[in-house]
Structure 1
Amino acid sequence: MKVTVKSNDAKPTATPVLVVLAHEGGALALPAGVELAATAAADFSGRFRQFRWCDPVKGVAERVLLVGLGAREDAGSENLRRATALAVKGAESLGLKRATIHVSSEVAEAAGGAEAAGESVAEAAVMAAYRFDAHKSKPKKVALTAVELQGPGAPFKRGATRGQALGEANCFTRDLQNHPGNVVTPTRLAAEAKKLATGAGQVTCKVLEESDMKKMKMGALLGVSAGSREPAKLIHLVYKPKTKKRGSKKIAIVGKGLTFDAGGISLKPGAKMDEMRYDMSGGAAVLGLFHALRAVGCEHEVHGVVPASENLPDGLATKPGDIHTAMDGTTIEVLNTDAEGRLILADALCYTTAKIKPETIIDVATLTGAVIMALGHELTGMFPTTDDLRQRLTEAGDAVAEKVWPLPLLDCHKDQMKGASADLRNINSPGQGNGSTSGAAFLSNFVGDTEWCHLDIAGTAWGTLDRDYVGGAMGTGVGVRLLMEFLRRR
């Protein structure tokens, strides 16, 4: 979708629909020259998500759509995103080719200021227009191809530029999630990563092949991929700012890239196994993050590491009881081959700590179904090692409506992961519970003293509530906007 931005002071241009966002009980702030019949305002209260189509009596708009933001004190950035998304979908439903969205100074102020409002409106406009029909033989033609955003001055335009980039990165991530496993393989994921580095001087990419992993003794990752004919890949993306500022950090984001997970020998039930194409959502989020960094950048040196593999029950597949050795020499007894994500992440975290040596590591993974039992689909489980990291990620998640929630990780949980026949076991004993925590406890063995946080996105990656601009049955692209906001605030 083409997005253009104009100041509210600019001369109005003709449009098939003018969208006006308004608070509940507040006065309608119409652009100059636009007038509505008195009955239009009388029928519109501004309650959250209220729609009112109007025929203007004066002005350059063919029709006007009023969308309610709710009470002013509640009408922050999330309400603004959702109202914008409703407007975009409304214009599409009428088959309109263009739409203009007007954001008054009052609306922008309630959403955190002109720049924040511009970001929210632009990302919502892009994300609401998302559709996945890449594999339809006759996809439905998109009507709405252009949106003009009107807001208060240069700060609004600055925010809208960033918001558009974030929205596009989210949609890129959702595409990776939604493609079937026979399309997005480890090889395809690596190819997409390489494309992100093409023509982007600040982004570079290298891909380690299985032969490289064998030399580096990544037995955990290779053990998972042994049952698949698709070769594993270890993707390493790097973003470097043009100028290194005082206080900038080296931060690594590690994303689980299981492009399809059948469970291996510990085979999953057939019902909903098709959803296991989403098991690479953490890796997709890392690629989406670099898609955004290409466009808007940040002050920090950012490394993205994605171990990519399939987990299938070939004759060479890991068997329950097998023992593998990770890159750092740690031996792991594999008691359940369906707890494979932590195995490929183990080697990726070893690689990150040994080769990159960042100040902070965040891993993002669809690691456990247990996190859905604990938190549902609307909250990402968070296991930070420092209070500072917990606070920063919480604030970033609240700002972009990708909320995170801290879960406990104690020494007793780490003790549960000690193995009988090896240093570690990949699952804890039946009856101990705390499935999400046990996964984090396992991973904690591979980060040393580095500040670290594990984000379990098994619930939030798909199947979330429909929030107008994101959510529903398919991938959500979760993590991209959260991590970009974290990097900005850091």
Structure 2
Amino acid sequence: MTTVSLSDRPAHDLTADAVVLATVQVDGSATLAAGHGLPRGAAAHLATSLKAHGASGAAEEVHTVAAVPGVKAGLVVLAGLGSATARTTSFEPEVLRRAAGAAIRSLKAATTVAVALPAGDVGSVAAVAEGATLGAYRYAGVRGPAAKPAVGVEKVTVVTSSARSKDAKAVAARAVVLAEAKAYARDLVNMPPNLLFPQSFADSVRTRAGSVSGKVTVTVLDEKALVKGGFGGIVGVGQGSINPPRLVTLTWAPAKAKSSVALVGKGITFDSGGLCIKPPASMLTMKSDMAGAAAVAATVFAAAELGLPVKVTGYLCLAENMPGGAAQRPSDVVTMRNGTTVEILDTDAEGRMVLGDGIALAGEAGPDAIVDIATLTGAQMVALGGRVAGIMANDDPFRDRVRAAADTSGEAAWPMPLPADLRSQLDSTVADLAHKGERWGGMLTAGLFLKEFVTEGTPWAHIDIAGPSFNEGSAWGYTPKGATGFGVATLLTLVEGYAG
């Protein structure tokens, strides 16, 4: 766990393994950002180093300089903020988050770091603290007894003139909670699928529920209870695996809750495609097909840690999609939790089936709003790429509210439509619904399918995170290679909005 404290002392005078300072790009070259407060000799030394390295000051560019005269820390990390003037003191929160994260990620042996990026106001303090703590994440992996544990940053000191402000201390504390929540989600997604399957996922949630400061209740429906409860979508997807499905419900219900929000997460712990099996190369990242459920679980725990006066219920729809002898077949018809019958067309379009059951169950409790989040369609990546999520909803103002939460938290998302003319693609001659439409507009027809399970009159939004949930490329900003924890910040910010 990485802790965060605030200090209004000069960065160069703080005892730490490393200190992070900002550079900006002026006329194509890097220069120290305004407000660094360094002694003249230290500033001159760093200016010479920047020139020698050919530094540009571009956003997320990082250079490390050792043994800077006049600076107590052994290392100075210079993080680029992008184009600005030498007098610019205000930067967008996401620019600060990424710069702080990139700087912290670059450190291989430092455990204590002072971060002195431009952070004079509370919003900037929050961004720097979030970026630094998120950048400190390290996945331990599955190692043998001889392996040395990864060294990570354990203590971050954010240098700010607002160090004595109660609001600044509060956002710093929130940053730690958010980072821990995202780390939990990342760990779940990164875990090998032979170790994380529906029951072990449920066990992990139970264990974590016992360690959070707020009381989170957990209930688990096993395969027999799922059959009895009419959860045909989850049962059907999971019936081809030796690891049977589960539906986990987590609830944070404070006594004076002002409203209630239901979060539903797709939790396919491994997706082989079922009988409609995927090509081998397409399975390499399918341990991440439960990233939506991981984000939901992490958000409920974060809401409890923060003591938010909102009832938050998370529904984790967990199954392993495998082609065993009992596996679901194309043309099967199953009955969902709300009584709707669905004709299966493609067993590799399984996520919408488990979510349909989860959304129907969530609606039975009468929440003020429902949000589902899922690595649902390859079409999302075709439309929006690997870093931007798609948001669909049955209510435009609510869709905009979810989008605003994403913008505030620094998670890129884009509103998408649910065109009524595509609904006919889900018509079936043998059931109430066909579970998949045509190839074109696949993200949208998936959203239209899910809409069928929303209780009438309940605001609902669907977030497709197929791309941004897992980073197959190089790390960037505060985002590591592998699991990203995408969605946790958006969902937490949305829930906080219901706290008034």
Relative to the length of structure 1, the TM-score reads: 0.90
Match of 2:383 in 1: 374
Q: 1:207 aligns with which of 202, 220, 225?
A: 220
Q: 2:408 aligns with which of 386, 399, 402?
A: 399
Shift in Å, 1:482? 0.9
Structure 2: 5+ residue stretches without partners: 27-31, 51-55
User: Superposition RMSD on alpha carbons, in Å?
Assistant: 2.4
Decide whether the 8 Å contact of 2:10 with 2:37 is kept in 1: no
1:68 counterpart SS class: strand
Matched, 1:161 2:173: yes
2:3 counterpart SS class: strand
Match of 1:77 in 2: 93
What number of residue pairs does the alignment pair up?
A: 474
Match of 1:454 in 2: 462
2:158 counterpart SS class: strand
Match of 2:35 in 1: 29
Decide whether the 8 Å contact of 1:202 with 1:242 is kept in 2: no
Match of 2:105 in 1: 89
Shift in Å, 1:131? 2.4
- The residue type paired with residue 103 of structure 2 is A
Match of 1:185 in 2: 197
Decide whether the 8 Å contact of 1:256 with 1:279 is kept in 2: yes
Shift in Å, 1:167? 1.2
Cα deviation code 1:246-300 (max 9, x no counterpart): xx32110000011111111111111131311111111011111123223223232
Decide whether the 8 Å contact of 1:332 with 1:426 is kept in 2: yes
Decide whether the 8 Å contact of 2:265 with 2:373 is kept in 1: yes
CA distance in 2, matches of 1:238, 1:3: 27
CA 1:189–1:394: 2 relative to 1, 3 Å: same
Decide whether the 8 Å contact of 1:285 with 1:479 is kept in 2: yes
- The residue type paired with residue 14 of structure 1 is T
Cα deviation code 1:331-388 (max 9, x no counterpart): 111111111111111111111112x211211000111111111111111111112222
Shift in Å, 1:202? 3.1
2:460 counterpart SS class: strand
CA 1:445–1:75: 2 relative to 1, 3 Å: same
Match of 2:393 in 1: 384
Cα deviation code 1:205-249 (max 9, x no counterpart): 1111222222211122111111111121111111123533xxx32
CA 1:134–1:464: 2 relative to 1, 3 Å: closer
Decide whether the 8 Å contact of 1:262 with 1:312 is kept in 2: yes
Matched, 1:68 2:80: yes
Matched, 1:38 2:44: yes
Decide whether the 8 Å contact of 1:3 with 1:149 is kept in 2: no
- The residue type paired with residue 97 of structure 1 is T
Relative to the length of structure 2, the TM-score reads: 0.88
Task: Report the identity percentage.
Answer: 32
Match of 1:298 in 2: 308
Moved more, 309-318 or 117-126: 117-126
CA distance in 1, matches of 2:44, 2:232: 72
Moved more, 30-39 or 129-138: 30-39
Cα deviation code 1:394-427 (max 9, x no counterpart): 2211122212111221222222212111111111
Q: 1:172 aligns with which of 181, 184, 189?
A: 184
1:162 counterpart SS class: helix
Structure 1: 5+ residue stretches without partners: none
CA 1:454–1:84: 2 relative to 1, 3 Å: same
Shift in Å, 1:471? 4.5
Equivalent residues in 2 for 1:259-338 (5 A)? 259-338=269-348
CA distance in 2, matches of 1:321, 1:27: 63
- The residue type paired with residue 35 of structure 2 is A
- The residue type paired with residue 489 of structure 2 is R
CA distance in 2, matches of 1:73, 1:424: 56
1:236 counterpart SS class: strand
